[in-house]
Structure 1
């Protein structure tokens, strides 16, 4: 069992609960998003997490963001991978903040609902789900935009910097697509090898700091958790979270120990989950205040927001053993990329994918032969079997 210790704690506004936390990948900086429905604004706060402390650096409001179904959601937000630069979607503009103060905004595409910097910071990837699903690549210096193949929800960067994971979602099935940076105009170069997930509504893919695991939180119908090994994409865990409360959407963080995933709960506890051993330990909160958001800092601390308005920085003991470095991350990324290839720029994406569900590999020929599926099979496979049967009946 890992020991947690409170390094710092502060109170935010209790009526403006933080429902998303985003930590800078390399610097001791964190940002939080709260939604003020009455004022029709979202509040962005930025904190300094250096030296085991928490100090607020900035607070500013941006326009409310909405899902395609008219529900409120946190605005798109992204840290630059190297610089202390935060970018937040604010209506038709991308607001930018640095410790020295705001810098000139960039134009935002209409309906911008996802935002990410490329691992080298030279491109700003944006995606929209407002009407026509589109994505674009922006030049961070000028805001000049060029179109790119669609992706949605968010982008998780592998610690090697050689690839990223993102989603292409649909009600029938969602693909977790892997991509190299550095395509034409700075776009992603999406790869053939992919994961298939049931239905849609998943959160941003989350790589562990050593790059050996990938976690996905979803979906639109069930509070589920999926963990896959990387680069094999072997399914390590699939579970539905307990139906005992309103689970926060942004409640996952990998800690400094390899294979340990932390989960924030509506009951206030943090669950320490060893994803390979499938062993879990619950760390309770004295006040039983529900977790509203969870993230890990660049130093491996846990940053926890709760419904009582508190923000807590927790140090995570590794039991005397040094945190597992990402020594093989580059080799793992190279092995994955060597076994796949770029998706052609034209044609439907899923027509070019060779994908796995973590247990079985699927290609076009194998899928065309599926005509039977049980109610226990994922929805996407049941739909495929139904379509194949219907096609066979028409051609008989």
Structure 2
């Protein structure tokens, strides 16, 4: 039986509880951000303690939909280096403290940041020059644009191997989950892609062993969708709140170090321990019943929980998971796809699946009939094809 034990607590601002926790992938560090709040909290989670290393004063962030959101932040994958977007500059924090801001290119209003898996480049979106039509590749030290890449939004999830990343391109009609291998500086998007209905999703999150990933959304319902990797098979698709009477936290998921176990933070303050393959869930009650505002897993597999009163709690998970076996899942995935062209309309080159069915370019160009159970995006595609008439060659 899994047991959760409180290791440490830290108080905070009740007016602006942390809404997003971003943990360093290898070091006992985390950062907490909130919508509409200028404070970015840098946290030390080492050796079962929880203490605040710094509070950075940063301009509040925005979302791709123009709403107020947490600031855009990114941890270097190996070093204790945090980069935060602050209007017309990038703030850098290291173990020695904050350094002088680095100015971003004229016109840049970066809403999401991510380091390349080797830490050599900083990926930023939207592009300073082309807006949401593309993204920028920056020198992390100078903020200089060293290249551009395909458009992406929301965030980037890295496979634990560092050999593949996943991100989103969102649209009201449909969202593509794109997979990319890190190139010399930029992402090289692959033709194999996942398609999701409507928009409003959070960044993909890979499990610790890389054999699953989860996507949280969408704009209309509190969906939770889990896929196997590298097959992209749909493992679980569920709605967190069927009657939409309760607002669930947007950043409320964390993978356990054990394969296939996902933690879900709830509005009642409890934590759900979910086996994604068996779909069996165990609820761990909260001793104080305070709603959870954010959840993340630290580098050592502990759970970091933010609560509505502004407080933070660090929890240990027992029993601890055994060491993970290395695998070649990314190689298997890449062997079944290829790089998409760097130019032109990306959608013209994607091979799409929703985890259950797949579609080729010809399928999408000729489909005219759908059923009521088909996804909205496919019904829209069929309607457009009927309006245009038969495809010609």
- Which structure 1 residue ranges, 5 or more long, are not aligned? none
The alignment status of 1:62 with 2:61, answered yes or no, reads no
CA distance in 2, matches of 1:9, 1:266: 19
The alignment status of 1:337 with 2:341, answered yes or no, reads no
Task: Determine if contact 2:366/2:390 at 8 Å carries over to the other structure.
Answer: no
Structure 1 position 385, deviation (Å): 0.9
Q: Which residue of 1 aligns with 2:94?
A: 98
Structure 1 position 70, deviation (Å): 4.0
What stretches of structure 1 move > 6 A for 4+ residues in a row?
A: none
**1:204/1:327 CA distance change after superposition, 3 Å:** same
Q: Which residue of 1 aligns with 2:254?
A: 253
- Which structure 2 residue ranges, 5 or more long, are not aligned? none
**1:322/1:68 CA distance change after superposition, 3 Å:** closer
Q: Which residue of 2 aligns with 1:124?
A: 122
Task: Determine if contact 2:34/2:71 at 8 Å carries over to the other structure.
Answer: no
Q: For 1:189, what is the secondary structure of its paired residue? A: strand
CA distance in 2, matches of 1:187, 1:196: 22
Q: For 1:112, what is the secondary structure of its paired residue? A: coil
**1:326/1:245 CA distance change after superposition, 3 Å:** farther
Structure 1 position 348, deviation (Å): 0.5
Q: Which residue of 1 aligns with 2:275?
A: 274
Structure 1 position 129, deviation (Å): 8.0
Deviations 1:291-335 (A, max 9, x none): 0000000000000000122200010113xx74351511xx00011
Q: Which residue of 2 aligns with 1:178?
A: 179
Task: Determine if contact 1:68/1:129 at 8 Å carries over to the other structure.
Answer: no
Deviations 1:143-171 (A, max 9, x none): 22022111111000001111100001111
Task: Determine if contact 1:12/1:309 at 8 Å carries over to the other structure.
Answer: yes
Residues 41-50 or 224-233, more deviating:
41-50
CA distance in 2, matches of 1:97, 1:340: 38
Deviations 1:7-42 (A, max 9, x none): 11111122221111000000000110134x4xxx42
Deviations 1:54-109 (A, max 9, x none): 01100121112223554210111110000000111111111110110112333335
CA distance in 1, matches of 2:143, 2:344: 28
**1:127/1:68 CA distance change after superposition, 3 Å:** closer
Structure 1 position 141, deviation (Å): 2.5
Aligned mate of 2:374, from 369, 377, 385:
377
Q: Which residue of 2 aligns with 1:113?
A: 111
**1:326/1:96 CA distance change after superposition, 3 Å:** farther
Q: Which residue of 1 aligns with 2:316?
A: 315
Q: Which residue of 2 aligns with 1:204?
A: 203
Q: Which residue of 2 aligns with 1:22?
A: 22
Structure 1 position 246, deviation (Å): 1.1
CA distance in 2, matches of 1:67, 1:191: 25
CA distance in 1, matches of 2:313, 2:87: 30
Note the aligned Cα RMSD (angstroms). Answer: 1.7
Q: Which residue of 2 aligns with 1:82?
A: 78
Q: For 2:388, what is the secondary structure of its paired residue? A: helix
Q: For 2:312, what is the secondary structure of its paired residue? A: strand
CA distance in 2, matches of 1:204, 1:219: 11
Task: Determine if contact 2:176/2:193 at 8 Å carries over to the other structure.
Answer: yes
Q: Which residue of 1 aligns with 2:234?
A: 235
Residues 156-165 or 143-152, more deviating:
143-152
Q: TM-score, normalised by structure 1?
A: 0.94
Q: For 1:366, what is the secondary structure of its paired residue? A: helix
Task: Determine if contact 1:7/1:313 at 8 Å carries over to the other structure.
Answer: yes
CA distance in 1, matches of 2:64, 2:350: 27
Q: TM-score, normalised by structure 2?
A: 0.94
Residues 368-377 or 250-259, more deviating:
368-377
Q: After superposition, where does 1:147-166 map in structure 2 within 5 Å?
A: 147-166=148-167
